[in-house]
A = this chain, B = another copy of it.
Amino acid sequence: MALNVKAIGSFHIGGGPVTLTGLPPRRLVLTQGMGVREFPQDGDFESGQMYAQYVRLERPRAKYPLLMWHGGGMTGATWETKPDGDPGWQSWFLHAGHDVFVSDAVERGRAGWSRFPEIYPEEPHFRSKQESWSLFRFGPPGSYPSRAGWPDGLFPLGNFDQFAKQVVPRWACNDASTQAAYDALIREVGPSVVMTHSQSGAFGFTAALHAPDLVRAVVTIEPSGCPDPDTVNLSALRSVPHLLVLGDHITGDRFWETIVLRINRYMDALRAAGCTADVLDLPAMGIRGNSHFPMMDRNSDQVAALVQDWMQRQGLMQ
């Protein structure tokens, strides 16, 4: 079925000017056929901005735009076509009637990144396929060399290299500017629903605390972090329902078990403060085999529909 699209476009937001001095110039061939020229490395730059791309529908059925925030070492491509070539959640939620904003956080993708160590204090981390394989629970410990996943695994492992092409460098020093840019994005877009994945989970929880009047719901897919509930005012979130979505094979994975304990403590604190904090624990519901990337798993449509049902029940659709 065709989408009736009112507008498609993008913008950068957040960050600001930085000036560098004292760097030696470099001699480079930057233009084919024009030979070696000298390029000053000093000058004025923008740093700390993020990128957001929107698709607005002619007749959205959702009350608010849906902001899709990717995880660590990834870009907005997370939400687009899946590594196996099937439509991703950007397309699914557009068809479900949401205006969708897919963004690249500070330092990722079309957001650009800044010189180190002059602006960013350290070098980036390059995530290997080995690290992705184990961190994202694509298979049992030690299974990377054989590329044999879980017997019930739903990630399309035949397309693992296509997934690996989506992985981009990331830094460990940009949390503050990333949060600031996300906060600026919400102020720019206005009332909206924030959907996060993995690393952006913490940014989404915090964004809701920073703008409980603008964030109308938080859907957090396999978040890797959250604020300390003892240090924030959760009662401000009574009108901001939260939904946590968890995949499979967390039990027995000490890293993810520790994270989920922390996230559950945050969800418990939300409920204790009078907020809506619901959980889609997929394996507990009998849906086995989801990885850390349910939006790319073979049952991504099924998981999307569960999220959509929840949004409907929260009154987020017209």
Residues of A within 8 A of B (CB): 2-12, 15, 17, 20, 26, 28-34, 39-46, 49, 51, 53, 55, 58, 72, 75-77, 80-81, 85, 87-88, 90-91, 94, 104, 109-110, 112-115, 125-126, 128-131, 161-162, 164-170, 172, 175, 199, 202, 224-226, 228, 255, 258-259, 262
Q: Is the CB of B4 within 8 A of A4?
A: yes
The residue on B at minimum CB distance from A167 is B112
Which residue of B32, B72, B166 is within 8 Å of A12 (Cβ)? Answer: B166
Nearest B residue (CB) for A108: B110
Cβ contacts under 8 Å, A81 to chain B: 9-11
Besides A31-B225, A40-B128, A115-B169, 10 new A-B residue pairs in contact (Cβ under 8 A), listed by A number? A2-B4, A4-B5, A5-B5, A11-B81, A11-B162, A34-B225, A45-B167, A112-B169, A113-B169, A115-B126
CB-based closest 10 A-B pairs:
A43-B128, A9-B81, A32-B225, A12-B165, A112-B168, A10-B80, A2-B58, A44-B129, A49-B165, A3-B5
Residues of B within 8 A of A110 (CB): 75-77, 104, 109-110, 166, 168
A80 contact from B9, B17, B224, Cβ within 8 A: B9
Distance between Cα atoms of A37 and B113 in the complex (Å): 24
- Which B residues are in CB contact (< 8 Å) with A109? 75, 104, 109-110
What is the chain B residue whose CB lies nearest that of A118? B126
Chain B residue, CB-CB nearest to A76: B110
Given the interface pairs A43-B129, A53-B80, the reply to whether A224 lies near B8 with Cβ below 8 Å is: no
Task: Compute how far the CA of A148 lies from the CA of B75 in the bound complex, rounded to whole angstroms.
Answer: 36
User: Considering the chains assembled together, what is the distance between the CA atoms of A109 and B129 in angstroms?
Assistant: 20
Contact B8 A40 (CB under 8 A): no
Closest B residue by C-beta to A37: B255
Residues of B within 8 A of A76 (CB): 110
Residue of B nearest to A3 (CB): B5
Q: Which residue of B lies closest to A228 (CB)?
A: B33
Q: Which partner residue on chain B sits nearest A6 by CB separation?
A: B2
CB distance from A242 to the nearest CB of B (A): 17
CA of A299 to CA of B226, assembled, Å: 47
With a cutoff of 8 Å between Cβ atoms, the chain B residues found around residue A51 in the complex are 77
Nearest CB of B to A110, in Å:
4
- Closest chain B residue to A41 by CB distance? B126
Q: What is the CA–CA distance of A39 and B172 in the complex, to the nearest angstrom?
A: 12
